[in-house]
Amino acid sequence: MAAFGVKELVDVLRASAGEDEDVNLEGDILDVDFESLGYDSLALFNTVRWIERDLGVTLSDEAIDVEGTPRALLDEINKASTQSV
């Protein structure tokens, strides 16, 4: 499977949890915490479950961390993806 990237993550965030109109998800968001991007723990929970279902991977509970960043979540998604192959 090709690496799951920031574009794919933004698409899933928008589809599963919406988008804060005051935040530009098209900018450099890799190291911005999810809370600053307008996503709370419920939004991340929905996003992580969506990714797990669509990619057939299992992510750790730490993936649902509003203090985390898209970069950290992407690292975890791609690590889980290589382990499930």
For residue 38, pLDDT beyond 90:
yes
pLDDT at 3: 80
Which residue type occupies 46? N
pLDDT at 39: 94
pLDDT in tens, 61-78: 888 888 899 999 999 999
Please provide residue 34's backbone torsions phi and psi, each rounded to the nearest 5 degrees: -60, -35
Per-residue confidence band for 50, with pLDDT thresholds at 50, 70 and 90: very high
Q: Is the dihedral of CA 61, 66, 71, 77 positive or negative?
A: positive
Q: Model-level pTM?
A: 0.88
pLDDT in tens, 14-37: 998 898 888 889 889 999 999 999
Q: What is the largest CA-CA distance in the chain?
A: 38
Q: Cα 38 vs. chain centroid, distance in angstroms?
A: 13
